Amino acid sequence: MIPACRLADLPRGEAHRLDIDPPVSVFHTDDGELFAIDDTCTHQDASLADGWLEGCEVECPLHASKFDLRTGAVDAPPAKLPVRTHEVVVEDGMVYVQLSTAAPNLPPCISARLAGGPA
């Protein structure tokens, strides 16, 4: 499990981005639920933590693709592929993320970089 942040430092309606590769973000919804998904929109390289959180959905700030935080599914295009979801655990006021072992769906340029191509 990866420590993300203190729960007290993540108010409702906000997101915390973990600068790992690929990056992951933890969202604290207005209803008080915590979700973690891959931070990068599957359509083009943009941080979903910089996007707009509404209910259990996050909207990408670039082209308004929407993802369901519970399932990672695409709720609105232009993204086609889902983001991965990760398990969130809170212990002693700390938020931890248990990374998914599935393969991530990353936008083309990031996939190329992870594969050793030009960034």
Partner 1 sequence: MTSTSLPDSLIATLPGSSYTDPAIFAQEQERIFETMWFCVARASELAKPGAFRTVDVGRESILVTRARDNSIRAYFNVCRHRGAKLCTEESGEVKRAFQCPYHAWTYDLNGKLVAAPNLTKMPDVGRTEYGLVSVAVREWLGYVWVCLAENPPSFEEDVIGEVVSRLGDVESIERYDIDNLSVGRRITYDVKSNWKLIIENFMECYHCATIHPELTEVLPEFADGYAAQYYVGHGAEFGEEVQGFTVDGSEGLDRIPGVADDQDRRYYAITVKPQVFINLVPDHVILHRMYPVAVDRTIVECDWLYLPHVVESGKDVSRSVELFHRVNQQDFDACERTQPGMSSRMYAKGGVLVPSEHHIGAFHDWVNERLGLSQG
- Bond prior to 104 in cis (omega within 30° of 0): no
| Residue 75 sits in the site that holds partner 1 (CB under 8 A) | no
For partner 1, the binding residue among 4, 24, 34, 51 (CB under 8 A) is 51
Stretch that binds partner 1, among 36-44, 66-74, 76-84, 89-97 (CB under 8 A): 36-44
CA 90 to chain CA mean position, Å: 17
| Residue 71 sits in the site that holds partner 1 (CB under 8 A) | no
For partner 1, the binding residue among 61, 73, 78, 99 (CB under 8 A) is 61
- Bond prior to 78 in cis (omega within 30° of 0): yes
Is the separation of the CB atoms in 37 and 66 below 8 Å? Answer: no
| Residue 62 sits in the site that holds partner 1 (CB under 8 A) | yes
Stretch that binds partner 1, among 1-9, 50-58, 68-76, 78-86 (CB under 8 A): 50-58
